[in-house]
Amino acid sequence: MNSLVDSLEFFAVIMAELVVLFLAISLLVALLQEYVSDDRMRGWLTRGGPVGQNASGAALGGLTPFCSCSTIPMTLGLLNANAPFGAVMSFLIASPLINPVIIGLFWVMLGWQATLAYAAVGFALAVIGGVAWEKLGLEKDVKRVRVSGGPQEDAARGTGTWQDKLRRAWGAAWGDFRGVFWYLVIGVAIGAAVKGFVPETFIAGIAGPDNPLAIPIASVIGVPLYVRAETMVPIGLAFIEKGMGTGAVIALIIGGAGASIPEVSMLSAIFKPRLLGAFVATILTVAVTAGLSYTIFF
């Protein structure tokens, strides 16, 4: 009976926190996007040298609350607009991993130390990945695919009074929330079940701090999971309470959020095998490095 009560309490508290956080952060980002045009975003990616452009790409990815799959159409749009290849690839790596929603959830659920390790490593390796891919000549491994223009709502973005902008921003935030709602429910429900019913010794034995292979194993396990990071954060919180190392949880979340099977399948339509392999390898590197960084420094 106590296990069931613990599970229900975990579900109610965490679900309420995630709903408020997601809506608040998404609304703020959508308002920012009302004042920053797509042309201006593309312009940012052409300033400075290769490292500066890639840093701008990673920063742009960090400001866009996209899941991994919804990042791909914008990636195509930037490539079709002749934005620098390396900068666009830095955007592609960073966007699903270090956007404001994920950073906010990490901060509240896992604390500032885990958030710092996650964000710093994710940003740095997004920049390095973009530079390396360009130096390796992987631009020629992009298939020539074009996308049509965005919906009418995108064309209207930035126009009208502040009330119009607020209305559209709220509509965008609510639409994003509706898109992830069941992912949140599923994630919190699984986390609640783990919290109430999974023995601590089981979790600690597989991925506890004393297992030297816990972090790379967790990063690989995360890749085939069809999840968003919003789903994995509450699951990870429950795993931590059951004895999993925080570094392993960070690696698990990055693997699942950055290189899920649906995203890799979508990328295979626009990336040739060599570039697709580089993408998956980069995500795994980010996952393992972030997990190890937390374990070593915190």
Residue pLDDT, tens place only, 146-203: 544 444 445 555 567 888 888 888 987 888 678 668 767 876 787 677 667 766 566 6
Contacts of 52 (CB under 8 A, 6+ apart): none
The mean pLDDT of the chain is: 78
3-class secondary structure per residue, 195-239: HHHCCHHHHHHHHCCCCCCHHHHHHHHHCCCCCCHHHHHHHHHHH
What is residue 262's predicted lDDT score, i.e. its pLDDT?
Answer: 62
Can you name the residues that pair with 271 across neighbouring β-strands?
142
What is residue 68's predicted lDDT score, i.e. its pLDDT?
Answer: 55
Can you name the residues that pair with 142 across neighbouring β-strands?
271
Q: What's the distance, Cα to Cα, between the start and end of the chain in Å?
A: 36
Element (H, E) at 42: helix 38-44
Element (H, E) at 55: helix 50-63
Kindly report, residue by residue over 209-258, the tens digit of the pLDDT.
667 788 888 888 776 655 566 667 777 777 787 777 888 888 888 887 77
Over range 282-290, report the average pLDDT.
89
At 233, list the tokens.
């954060």
pTM: 0.69
Can you give the residue ranges of every domain in the chain? 2-297
